[in-house]
Every structure is written in structure tokens, then in C-alpha cells.
Amino acid sequence: MAELITKAAYARRRGVSPAAVTKAVKSGRITEIDGKIDPDVADIQWSRNTDVAQSARTSDSILKSPTSTKESRQEGQEDSAILVARTRTEIARAELFEIEIAEKRGTLVLAEGVKKAAFEKARIVRSALEGLPDRLAPVLAAETDPARCHQLMMAEIKRVLRELAAGEGEQTRQ
């Protein structure tokens, strides 16, 4: 809240007569607090509640004043548009900053890197699984016991999975 001022001071500020301010207060177009006026609130109320055509008939000074109602409305709209644009800009900057921090902390990674890593791991798993028949075929061909065949296959599968989990897999065989 701005500092409260007298009606006469507000009239000088608006470029109108003190009688015009008193009339605006009496008609309810602007409000006063303990006989004084908050100029910021009164400016908004004046802009919203004053008929420009009516005030032009009573005083040409308002139309000449740089703070006329029409200009005040235009300035208010421009100020509002600027404020909205600045708010959007600040929100975008904050979001970008959060992304940068997440990247630096390692909680955010680039999708392209994840895709490449997943593709590489899948290729290693595929190669390891394709190698199973070559290693197991000679051993299983000699076995007649189905339980022993199962045991040998499970042991080889677990060995391959352990290598993959340890990050080895195909790299250790190259």
C-alpha cells in the first residue's frame, strides 16, 4: 500500500481540480481511507470508474494531461502484457535451470544416451544367447539323462547371466 495523501494532493497528481476528486469520492468512483487517498488504488479506480466523455465535458485538462484515463488504461494494459511476458520468461529460465541441475546431479540423462546403452546391452545379450548352442551341443549330445541336460543348460545360462550382470559378456571373449 502506498502512502496515503490528501484529496488536494491527489488532485494535483491527477491534474484535476480538488472538486473533481471530492465528487469522485462522493459518487463512489474512488474510495478514501480516514479522509485520505491511496493514490495507487485510486488511480485504478479512477481508470475503471470514470467516464472519459463526461469528464471531457467538464474539463479539457484531463484530455491534455499525460495521465488521462485513456492513456492510463493503455499504459495499464501494456504494463500487464509486459508483466505476463516477464513472468513467462522467468518461468522458462527457472525450468531450464532445474534441468541443468538435474543433469549435473545425474538424476536426468539424455534419452539418446539411454537408447544407445540399451541397444548395446541388448546386442551383448543376443550374442551371449546365440553362443549357448555352440558351447552346449557337444556336451548335451553325450548326455542321456534329461535331468543332467537340464542341469548343464541351467549352469551355462546362469554363467552367461552372471557375466552380463558383471558387465563382461561378449567383451571378455573378444
Whole-model pTM: value is 0.39
Q: Measuring CA to CA, which residue among 29, 28, 31, 35 is closest to residue 8?
A: 35
Q: Helical H runs in the chain? A: 7-14, 18-26, 39-49, 52-58, 61-64, 69-105, 111-142, 146-165, 170-173
**Is it the case that residue 69 has pLDDT exceeding 80?**
no
**pLDDT of the residue at 157:** 92
Q: What gap in Å lies between CA 27 and CA 55, rounded to an integer?
A: 14
pLDDT cut 70: percent of the chain above it: 79
- pLDDT for 130-164, tens place per residue? 999 998 999 999 999 999 999 999 999 999 889 88
All 3 cell numbers of residue 35? 479522509
Higher pLDDT, 79 or 158: 158
Quote the Cα angle for 25-6-1, to 5°. Answer: 85
Instruction: Give the number of other Cβ atoms within 10 Å of residue 90's Cβ.
Output: 10
In this prediction, residue 105 carries a pLDDT of: 87
Cβ atoms within 10 Å, residue 69: 21
Residue 100 has pLDDT above 50, yes or no: yes
28 neighbors 46 (Cβ within 8 angstroms): no
Mean pLDDT score of the chain, rounded to an integer? 82
